[in-house]
Amino acid sequence: MLAQVGLTAQQLNPAIERERAEVHRRLRRYRGDQPPPRVTGRVVIVVDDGLATGVTARAALASLRAQEPDRLLYAAPVCAPESADLLRRDADAVICLRMPARFRADGQWYTDFTQLDDEQVTQLLARSWHTTPTRRP
């Protein structure tokens, strides 16, 4: 894939490190002191806003698969058909409401595809913790 975009691994490493640091920052900000949820032996559903290339989805599924869930599902409202086909190798089921033949980007299927900021995410997460009937560690 690197050759297709004209990059070497050495050129990509700084971007990988920046993204890795950003993931850790977001985990600290969004999760706070909460431990990661246990997924071993459970049904896990990864919900996404859409599936374009599938690179991020595959990474998320691989990380979760290593924790041995009972079943691992992926769900999105819109998916590129070829990416959904590839993702079926990583998930027990791929659920896509629409798979348009002329898929170009997730955002083309939304009226408002505005990125949420950290404050919005933390507010939504805090609300979900207070409205979920039962939480198991």
Residue spans per domain, the chain:
1-35, 37-107
125: confidence class by pLDDT, cuts 50, 70, 90: confident
Residue 103 half-sphere exposure toward CB, CA atoms < 13 A = 20
H/E element, 18:
helix 9-31
pLDDT at 2 over 80: no
25: confidence class by pLDDT, cuts 50, 70, 90: very high
Classify domain 37-107 at the CATH class level.
alpha beta
Higher pLDDT, 8 or 65: 65
Give the predicted TM-score (pTM) of the model: 0.80
16: confidence class by pLDDT, cuts 50, 70, 90: confident
